[in-house]
Amino acid sequence: MRKCDEKKPFIFISYAHKDSERVLRIMDGLDRAGYNLWYDDGIVPGAEWDENIANHVENCSYFIAFISENYIASNNCKDELKYSRDLNKEQLMVYLEDVSLPGGLAMRMNRLQAGMWYQYNVED
Which pLDDT tens digit goes with each residue over 34-89? 999 999 876 666 678 889 999 999 999 999 999 999 999 999 999 999 999 999 99
Q: Using CB atoms within 10 Å of the CB of residue 6, give its burial: 0 to 12 exposed, 13 to 18 middle, 19+ buried.
A: middle
Residue 48's pLDDT is: 83
Burial 29-63 (b: 16+ CB within 10 A, else e): eeeeeebbbbbbeeeeeeeeeeeebeebbeebebb
Q: Please state, in angstroms and rounded to a whole number, the distance separating the CA atoms of residues 118 and 40.
A: 23
Res 11 pLDDT > 80: yes
Q: Please state, in angstroms and rounded to a whole number, the distance separating the CA atoms of residues 46 and 43.
A: 9
**Alpha helices, DSSP H only, in 33-102?**
49-59, 69-73, 75-86
Q: Please state, in angstroms and rounded to a whole number, the distance separating the CA atoms of residues 4 and 20.
A: 17
pTM of the predicted model, to two decimals? 0.85
